[in-house]
Every structure is written in structure tokens, then in C-alpha cells.
Amino acid sequence: MDPAAGMLRFGAASLDPERGVLRRADGEETTLRPKTLDLLLLLLRARGRLVTRSEILDTVWADVTVTDDSITQCIVELRRAMGADGMALLKTVPRRGYILEAAPLAAPAMTPALLPVPGFGGVPVVAVLPFRQVQADPALSVVAEGLLDGVVGALAMLREPVVISGNSTRALSPDAPVEEAARRLGAQYVASGSLRQRGDRLRVTMEVAEAAGGTVLLQRQWDLAGVDTFEAEDDVATVIAHAIAPRVREAELARARRSRPGDLGAYHLLLEARQLIFRLERGAFEEAGGLLREAAARDRGAAAIPAALADWHSLRLGQGWSDDAERDRHGLEAAAEAALALDSRHPRALAMLGHNRAILARGYEEAVDLFDRALDAAPNDAETWMWSSPTYAFLGETTEAVRRAERAIALSPEDPLRFRYQCFAAIAHYAAEDFERSASWARRSVAANPNYTSALRVGIGAMMEIGAAPEAREMAARVLALEPGFRVGPFIERQPFRDEARRRAYGRRLQEAGLPA
């Protein structure tokens, strides 16, 4: 990449990735269609390596079903834009895929791993290597294959970081050096692991390293009673994926903070906004909203940004920080719909929209339909399971509410936002009138984030039910410090519990703890 001009050079051609303009040697410029640009970026990251047609479909058309004709059309457009060098630079490997024959980028700091990611510039790329088997065992080989597919599949459902197809990483040795694997696959982060049978238990180890410098971000092991079913493999793989993703995001945030603020791309603005949001401090929270709007202006094609903005509006309402509740409700709906317009199967946008349709409008049936769509798109995404739990609690289907909350926690036990999962578990148990467990989960949520008013409120109700009035009063004082204008009456009128008696009893407990009527 030419740092001065911001151009990616290959052969006699150059690409401006921000504008999507390809310029050939004679100076003629072509503005590429979005999918054609995405395909070229994929080929540039993998320059010199065969990119299979299945990898192209998995990366460029991840959320829609198209035929090979779509790939062929993009290849034709790229060769035409490259001019006389098109056929020589972009070679077809019959019945397999394509190779972009171009010399490596000259500047060693600008490796293919740093090229923009199709669809959302700046999102990090992770390659998951095949699991190394400590013992030669055919049964272990089957588990290793299943875990690789499962981890890659779970990361793909999370949408970010971007994950390289398992079909591509299988070509590498499990012991491939991090820098070599990253260079060949165009990844900034490499995950590698091993399997060891120890009696009737299976030890799974996992390490994630940053390609530039080899810094280890995650080193964990899990001892399992057995992974003898597809469902068990899936669960283990999903837990591993949920451990990898936040470590990569933390590393990207640290890297972004070492850059000049004006150099930050939309993705890194999103990461910074998320960090500010979940501190749940009023000033930082409002700053986060500005960062999200700036990120949306910089990249209008990334569904993750409006999805995060919808969450921001939702929390603003829930924390009692909105100075215009109706405007924030409209903002929430508009942001969620914008995310779904970009990615109709974005699981978290679907689930978040369902949650808010239930709590803001008591649209329970519509909410359940949205949850079904979300879990069809991402059956092992912890956050998607989390969002669906409270609606079942409000409906009175408390066994299902508890199951969904516990499923979310099991899939992502170390989630950075675990206070939210714990709060929703507290709500589920409160609705089930298991007040001891509700109080236990509320305590954990408040300990993890003492500024989350939803956890404080349900904690107050549960504490009063179990006779822990002093603790409930401390929580009530905290609610009023965070939300001085809080009043029980208007709050209870908005509560989405379908059971009127449960709703009124909850209100009485809040007042008994000292919250004003």
C-alpha cells in the first residue's frame, strides 16, 4: 500500500480501497461495484495463493445464496478494469478458483493482513489452524475436524472478527509459525490449539497470537468429560470462539489507541464506543453515541454499526438517561431496521429488536418471531440467546426464560458484558418466583457493573422478597444516584410483565425499599 496516496498497487494497476476505484497503467479509472471490490480485496489479501470458489462465496456472499455466475461476472469486470494485464494478473485454475499473480507489497509493514476487509474496512481477520493431535487416534481426528469447523462457524456467526474459511486453513500445518500462517492467509491474528486424551477426559488447549510481533492474547485449556456427540462439539467450539473474539477486539482497541484519532476507521470507532457504552457513566455514554454516529457516516455498509447504535438507544432508555423517550424509541427502531437492511440475518439486530418490541410495546408475538429468526441465523451466539430470555420471563414462560439465560451464560462464561447476562438470569428467576436465585444473579451483575440500573431494580425486588431489606435499600440509593428522577409508578406502568399481579407486587417491593412512588 502506498501510504501517501492510500493506494494498493499490484502489477501496473492500483486500487483506492476507500473510493473503490481501480486505475490501470494508462490512467483509465473504473469504479468497481461493491461485490467486485470485495472480491478484489479478498484476492489481494491472498495474493499468490489459490482462492477457491467456495472461499469466495463464503466471504463475499456470506449472507446470500448466489450461483457461480456471480463470481464469473465479477472476474470479468476485474479483468476488463485491469486492461491488457488482466488475464496475466488474474489467473483461473479450472474447476477450483483464482490466483492473483502479483509481487508482494514492498513495504514490510504493509502485509496483506493489513488490507481492508470486504464489507467493513478495518475489521480484523482471524485464521484458525487445524487442531494438533498429541496422540495419533482416528477418533481424535474426527473431533479435531469437528472443532475446527465449529470454531470457524461460531466466529463467522459473530460477524466480527472476520474468520478465514476452514477450507483454507486446513492446507496449513497445525504447527505453522504464526507469521507464516498470517502471511499466507492474510490474517492479523492466528488461533492454534491441540487435543490430548487423558484417560476418559479430553484436554483442549487454545492460543491466539497477534501476527505482528507474535504477542499471545489468549492461552487457555479446557478439560472435558468427553466430546462424543455433534452437539457437544458444537458447544465446546462455541465457548472457544466466544473466548477468542473479545481478546481480538481488545487487541484492536489497544492498537487503535496508539494511532492518531483522525486515523481511526469506522470499526475502531465502533470498538471505542462499545468500551465507553458499557462503563455506563453518563458523560462517557453520550460520547459513545457521537462516536457511533461518526462511524456510521464513515462506513454506511456495516450492519454492526447501526446494531450498536440501536443498543445505545435501548440502554439510554433503560438507564433513564433519555431526555426524549419517544425520539430514542424511534432512533432504536430506525437503527435496528438499518442494520437489517444491510444484513437481513444479522442475529443480534434481530434479537435486540425483538427484545425492545417486547419491553417497549408489549409486542410479545412479534418478539418471539424475531428471536426465532435470530437463532435460526446464529443458533450458538450467546448474545442472541441472552436477548431472548426476558421476553419469556415477561410472558410467564419462566422455565424457558431460565433456560435461555443459562444457555447464554454457558456459551460465553467469560463474556466482557457478563453483567447483562447475569441481570437477565436474575429477571428470569424473579419471574419464576425463585427469589434466592434471582438475588444471587442480581448480586453478581451489580458486582460486575454497579451502574446497570436494570440489575439494581430487579435486585431490589428479589432482596425484599428474601428479607434482605438493608441490601435492597443500598441498591435503591444507588438507583436514585444514577437516575435522580426515578419514580416507581411510571416505571411499573411501562413494565412488560403480562401478569398484572406480578407487576404490581414488583412495584410494591421497590417502594418498600425506599424508591419514591
Task: List, for residues 356-398, the tens digit of each pLDDT value.
Answer: 999 999 999 999 999 999 999 888 889 999 999 999 999 999 9
Q: Mean pLDDT across the chain, nearest whole number? A: 86
- Answer whether residue 312 shows pLDDT above 70: yes
For residues 227 and 283, membership in a common domain is answered with no
In the chain, the largest separation of any two C-alpha atoms, in whole Å, equals 81
DSSP designation for 412: -
- Answer whether residue 200 shows pLDDT above 80: no
The CA distance from 266 to 230, in Å, is 38
Where among 257, 277, 307 does a domain terminate? 257
Q: What is the mean pLDDT of residues 64-78?
A: 84
The residue ranking higher by pLDDT, 298 or 49, is 298
How many domains does the chain contain in total?
A: 4
Tell whether 2 is covered by a domain. Answer: no
For residues 343 and 470, membership in a common domain is answered with no
Straight-line distance from the first to the last Cα atom of the chain, in angstroms, rounded to the nearest whole number: 63
Tell whether 190 is covered by a domain. Answer: yes
For residues 140 and 250, membership in a common domain is answered with yes
Neighbours of 503 (CB within 10 A): 16
226 torsion bin: left (phi>0), alpha (psi -120 to 50), beta (else)? left
As to burial, measured by CB atoms within 10 angstroms (0-12 exposed, 13-18 middle, 19+ buried), residue 95 is: exposed
Instruction: List the one residue out of 100, 95, 120, 50 whose CA is nearest residue 346.
Output: 120
- Answer whether residue 95 shows pLDDT above 70: yes
Q: What is the mean pLDDT of residues 40-58?
A: 82
Which pLDDT does position 63 carry in this prediction? 59
Where among 226, 257, 288 does a domain terminate? 257
As to burial, measured by CB atoms within 10 angstroms (0-12 exposed, 13-18 middle, 19+ buried), residue 329 is: middle
User: Residue with C-alpha cell 481501480?
Assistant: 22
Judged by average pLDDT, the poorest of 14-23, 267-276, 449-458 is 14-23
CATH number (domain holding residue 154): 3.40.50.10070
Task: List, for residues 474-513, the tens digit of each pLDDT value.
Answer: 999 999 999 999 999 999 999 999 999 999 999 999 999 9
For residues 175 and 209, membership in a common domain is answered with yes
- Answer whether residue 243 shows pLDDT above 80: yes
The residue ranking higher by pLDDT, 61 or 97, is 97
- Answer whether residue 115 shows pLDDT above 80: no
> What percentage of the chain exceeds 70 in pLDDT?
91
The CA distance from 156 to 135, in Å, is 29
The residue ranking higher by pLDDT, 95 or 502, is 502
The CA distance from 474 to 461, in Å, is 12
Copy the grid coordinates of residue 498.
403480562
CATH number (domain holding residue 341): 1.25.40.10
Helix count and strand count (H, E) for the chain: 22, 13
Contact 161, 152 (CB under 8 A): no
DSSP designation for 468: -
- Could you write out the DSSP letters of every residue in 425-475? HHHHHHHTT-HHHHHHHHHHHHHH-TT-HHHHHHHHHHHHHTT-HHHHHHH
The CA distance from 245 to 208, in Å, is 10
- Answer whether residue 61 shows pLDDT above 60: yes
Q: Is the dihedral of CA 504, 509, 512, 514 positive or negative?
A: negative
The CA distance from 48 to 11, in Å, is 12
Tell whether 3 is covered by a domain. Answer: no
The residue ranking higher by pLDDT, 333 or 8, is 333
The CA distance from 63 to 347, in Å, is 11
**Domain containing residue 214:** 125-257
For residues 314 and 369, membership in a common domain is answered with yes
Tell whether 120 is covered by a domain. Answer: no
For residues 202 and 274, membership in a common domain is answered with no
Judged by average pLDDT, the poorest of 34-38, 101-105, 299-303, 512-516 is 101-105
Where among 379, 410, 435 does a domain terminate? 379
Tell whether 119 is covered by a domain. Answer: no
Q: Is the dihedral of CA 159, 163, 165, 170 positive or negative?
A: negative
pLDDT classification of 5: cutoffs 50, 70, 90: very low
Copy the grid coordinates of residue 260.
492518531
For residues 144 and 248, membership in a common domain is answered with yes
Give every CB contact of residue 344 below 8 A, 6+ residues apart in sequence.
63
Tell whether 205 is covered by a domain. Answer: yes
For residues 329 and 430, membership in a common domain is answered with no
Copy the grid coordinates of residue 389.
430470555
Which pLDDT does position 122 carry in this prediction? 72
Residue 408's H or E segment, with its range, is helix 398-411
- Answer whether residue 230 shows pLDDT above 70: no
381-404: buried (b, 16+ CB within 10 Å) or exposed (e) per residue?
Answer: bbbbbbbbbbbbbbbebbebbbeb
Which pLDDT does position 106 carry in this prediction? 37
For residues 347 and 415, membership in a common domain is answered with no
- Answer whether residue 198 shows pLDDT above 80: no
The residue ranking higher by pLDDT, 341 or 137, is 341
As to burial, measured by CB atoms within 10 angstroms (0-12 exposed, 13-18 middle, 19+ buried), residue 141 is: middle
The residue ranking higher by pLDDT, 498 or 111, is 498
Q: Is the dihedral of CA 435, 439, 445, 446 positive or negative?
A: positive
Which pLDDT does position 191 carry in this prediction? 93
146 torsion bin: left (phi>0), alpha (psi -120 to 50), beta (else)? alpha
Instruction: List the one residue out of 75, 72, 107, 83 whose CA is nearest residue 11.
Output: 83
For residues 190 and 313, membership in a common domain is answered with no
Tell whether 396 is covered by a domain. Answer: yes
Which pLDDT does position 310 carry in this prediction? 96
Q: What is the mean pLDDT of residues 340-364?
A: 93
Which pLDDT does position 103 carry in this prediction? 55
Tell whether 445 is covered by a domain. Answer: yes
pLDDT classification of 120: cutoffs 50, 70, 90: low
The CA distance from 268 to 248, in Å, is 12
For residues 129 and 247, membership in a common domain is answered with yes
- Answer whether residue 438 shows pLDDT above 60: yes
For residues 428 and 489, membership in a common domain is answered with yes
